[in-house]
């Protein structure tokens, strides 16, 4: 069945949001349902057992009463039967039966079969259906029939009628014993305690069983930050060990792929340096000064692109160790250096903000972002703050901004947006890619937004180390 969006949202709000919560909910619901079904079955079986015991006892007493009644003279029979009458076992003697007919199923049939064994060749009637309310014809008084004492109504009862040899009827009514109610503290309290204990054990077991999910999530997050992170320990149940082994194999393949790519780019870079050097030497002997200048500039660009590509491929941000550093002092120093060079820039933030990071990689990433803001936006206003859990760095410029559909594209290697960049400004198109790789290696991220009053805002978030 396909749920509507509104019902799906309602279901998501009502259901727990974690695997532990949802599994625990299923287990608790299953425990409650199974306990309820078991309690209902127990109550039914208990009532049937009590009814059978009561029916057998009544049948045995009736068999004895028949013998006694037939040995008594009719003049004293009624008085004797009345003396045997008790609130839980009504006895009468009359000309009509209190049981109108026989029932061939259930408790009545069982009592009839027991009586037949003790009273052979007797006319018997056993029924649970209501019969005459009492009177001279049955030998039972109306009041005695209706009440068992203490003002309690008789309720359901086994009605037994036996035809005596003189043609009269011995009538017996035995109220069905329902037993004490199950809803008593001495019965319910242990059941509730058992349910609580089983639920607590189930919750602990579920939490332990779902712990590998958190371990996998942490390992995947760590792999995204540091591809050279140590492999996971292959412990736990067989399924978990298999999953861990597959994860470790995937990680080793990723590491091997990165290493192969880095070695390949390093080899290309090394091989290209020799012909570039030869071209540079030849360019020095050119007579045309203008052409020589252009060729040397192109060769310098090629060397810069090769160096940038190799640095990006090596991903130096992940190899540098993390240390405690003053991020506020570092950013202020960068802004002061740019200001000394005549760049339009400003800083707004604390004088000191200590965090754990890789200084060289973080400084290179921030330098790329600030340089881009100055180069393509005319200025860079840098803000720094922290909420205790996260460090936030904002870089605003006064440029034309970037189309929203290009926010992700600017982070791709070698991508240059023509609307906001010119070849005269230089660059290899790797600055934003290198910056985001370094920030994500720290466990953070970079987000681009266009400011309402114009210009681009770059927001860098880093975990507070």
Give the per-residue pLDDT at 132.
61
pLDDT in tens, 264-306: 777 777 777 788 888 888 888 888 888 888 888 888 878 777 7
pLDDT in tens, 347-389: 999 989 999 888 888 998 899 899 989 988 889 999 999 988 8
- Listed by start position, the domains of the chain span 16-211, 238-314, 319-463
Q: What is the DSSP string of 113-162?
A: HHHHHHSTT--EEEE-S-----BTTTTB-HHHHHB-STT-B--SEEEEEE
Average pLDDT over residues 165-184: 78
Q: Which helix (H) or strand (E) holds 166?
A: none
Give the per-residue pLDDT at 188.
79
Q: Do 319-463 and 238-314 have the same topology in CATH?
A: no
Q: What is the CATH number of domain 238-314?
A: 1.10.287.130
For residue 228, give the 3-state DSSP assignment: coil
Alpha-carbon gap, residue 280 to 276, rounded angstroms: 6
Give the per-residue pLDDT at 318.
57
pLDDT in tens, 243-265: 888 888 888 888 888 777 777 77
Res 120 pLDDT > 70: yes
Q: What is the CATH number of domain 319-463?
A: 3.30.565.10
Phi-psi region of 150 (alpha: psi -120 to 50; beta: other; left: phi over 0): left
Mean per-residue pLDDT of the chain: 79
Question: pTM here?
Answer: 0.49
pLDDT in tens, 212-221: 877 888 888 7
Q: For residue 335, what pLDDT band results from cuts at 50, 70 and 90?
A: very high
pLDDT greater at residue 317 or residue 46? 46
Average pLDDT over residues 161-188: 79
pLDDT in tens, 177-215: 766 666 777 777 887 888 888 888 878 887 887 778 778
């Amino acid at each position: 069945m396909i749920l509507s969006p509104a019902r799906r949202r309602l279901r998501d709000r009502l259901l727990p949001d974690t695997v532990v919560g949802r599994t625990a909910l299923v287990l608790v619901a299953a425990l409650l349902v199974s306990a309820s079904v078991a309690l209902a079955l127990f109550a039914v079986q208990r009532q049937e057992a009590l009814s059978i015991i009561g029916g057998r006892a009544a049948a045995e007493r009736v068999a004895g009463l028949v013998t006694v009644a037939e040995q008594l003279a009719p003049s004293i029979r009624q008085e004797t039967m009345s003396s045997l009458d008790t609130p839980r076992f009504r006895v009468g003697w009359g000309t009509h039966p209190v049981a109108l007919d026989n029932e061939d199923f259930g408790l009545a049939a069982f009592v009839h079969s027991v009586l037949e064994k003790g009273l052979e060749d007797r006319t018997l009637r056993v029924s649970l259906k209501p019969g005459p309310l009492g009177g001279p014809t049955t030998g039972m008084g109306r009041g005695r029939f209706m009440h068992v004492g203490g003002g309690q109504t008789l309720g359901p009862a086994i009605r037994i009628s036996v035809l005596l040899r003189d043609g009269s009827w011995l009538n017996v009514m035995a109220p069905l014993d329902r037993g004490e109610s199950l809803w008593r503290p001495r019965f319910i309290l242990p059941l509730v305690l058992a349910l609580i204990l089983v639920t607590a054990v189930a919750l602990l077991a579920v939490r332990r069983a779902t712990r590998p999910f958190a371990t996998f999530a942490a390992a995947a997050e760590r792999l995204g930050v540091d591809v050279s992170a140590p492999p996971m320990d292959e412990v736990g149940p067989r399924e978990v060990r298999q999953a861990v082994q597959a994860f470790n194999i995937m990680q080793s393949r990723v590491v091997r792929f990165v290493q192969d790519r880095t070695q390949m780019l390093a080899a290309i870079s090394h091989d290209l340096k020799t012909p570039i050097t030869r071209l540079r030497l030849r360019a020095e002997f050119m007579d045309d000064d203008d052409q020589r200048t252009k060729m040397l500039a192109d060769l310098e660009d090629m060397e810069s692109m090769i160096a940038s590509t190799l640095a990006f491929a090596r991903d130096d941000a992940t190899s540098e160790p993390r240390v405690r550093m003053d991020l506020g002092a570092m950013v202020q120093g960068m802004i002061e250096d740019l200001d000394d060079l005549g760049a339009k820039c400003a800083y707004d933030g604390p004088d000191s903000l200590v965090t754990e990071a890789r200084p060289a990689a973080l400084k290179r990433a921030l330098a790329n972002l600030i340089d881009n803001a100055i180069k393509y936006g005319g200025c860079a206003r840098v803000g720094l703050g922290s909420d205790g859990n996260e460090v936030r760095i904002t870089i605003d410029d006064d440029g034309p901004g970037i189309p929203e559909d290009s926010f992700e594209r600017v982070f791709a290697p070698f991508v240059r947006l023509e609307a906001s960049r010119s070849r005269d400004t230089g660059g290899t198109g790797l600055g934003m890619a290198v910056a985001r790789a370094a920030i994500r290696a720290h466990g953070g991220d970079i987000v681009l937004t266009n400011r309402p009053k114009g210009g681009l805002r770059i927001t860098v978030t880093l975990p507070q180390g």
